[in-house]
Amino acid sequence: MKYAFGVATLCALLASPAQAFDVRSKDFTDGGTLPAQQVYRGFGCEGGNRSPQLAWRDPPAGTKSYVVTAYDPDAPTGSGWWHWVVYDLPADVHALDAGAVVPAPARQGRNDFGTREFGGACPPVGDKPHRYIFTVHALKVEKLDVPADASPALIGFMVHMNKLGSATATARYWR
Q: Write down the domain spans for the chain.
A: 19-173
Q: What's the pLDDT score for residue 27?
A: 97
**How high is the mean pLDDT in each 10-residue block of the chain (175 residues)?**
40 45 97 97 95 97 98 96 97 96 94 96 97 98 95 95 97 97
Please state whether the predicted TM-score (pTM) of the whole model is above 0.85.
Answer: yes
Three-state DSSP class for residue 160: helix
- Say which residues have a Cβ less than 8 Å from residue 45's Cβ, sequence separation at least 6: 39, 120, 121, 122, 175
| pLDDT value at residue 130 | 98
Q: What is the pLDDT of residue 20?
A: 83
Calpha distance 162→105 (Å, rounded): 18
C-beta neighbour count of 117 within 10 angstroms:
16
Query: Which residue, 120, 21, 131, is CA-closest to 66?
Result: 21
Fold held by 19-173: Phosphatidylethanolamine-binding Protein (3.90.280)
